[in-house]
Amino acid sequence: MLHLTAWTFARIFPSTPALPGLDVLDTKPFIRQLHSEAPFTIRATLWVSVLLFTLTPVLTLGIPLPAFLLSRARVDEHAQRLSMSQVYLLRQIMMMLKTIGGLYWGAAPEVRQKLTMPIYPEDSGRWRQS
């Protein structure tokens, strides 16, 4: 699930000429930390969202293949159609993936540096000790 989640984030947050995306940043430590520290409901919702993103090209594109077997352009089209779906639950897949992926992307030092924002200090882990 780790690799599929990282692949999904990489497709939803691609790099641009101005900013690095999750296709070049290492999301695996973040995903591992999330899975070890987040409440079960967050983890389960993320897992379901990743699985549904992977399996729903048949609904958005009419192609009965998992998303990881599609070209990058088709995956982009799939993500766009999920985001604009008339079915609320399909739109929620993208909202969850963008929310969780965005937490990492927005805090990444490489991204913050490009945006001339201060880099966050390293997590002290104090709340885990209480």
For 33-58, how does the pLDDT look when each residue is reduced to its tens digit (9 = 90+)?
A: 999 989 999 999 999 999 999 999 99
For 78-92, how does the pLDDT look when each residue is reduced to its tens digit (9 = 90+)?
A: 999 999 999 999 999
Domain residue ranges of the chain, discontinuous segments joined by +: 2-121
Taking phi first (over 0 means left), then psi (-120 to 50 degrees means alpha), and beta for anything else, what does residue 84 get?
A: alpha
Among residues 17, 39, 16, 20, which one has the least CA distance to residue 100? 39
Among residues 34, 62, 36, which one has the least CA distance to residue 50? 34
pLDDT bucket at 122, cuts 50 / 70 / 90? confident
> Residue holding tokens 């296709």?
23
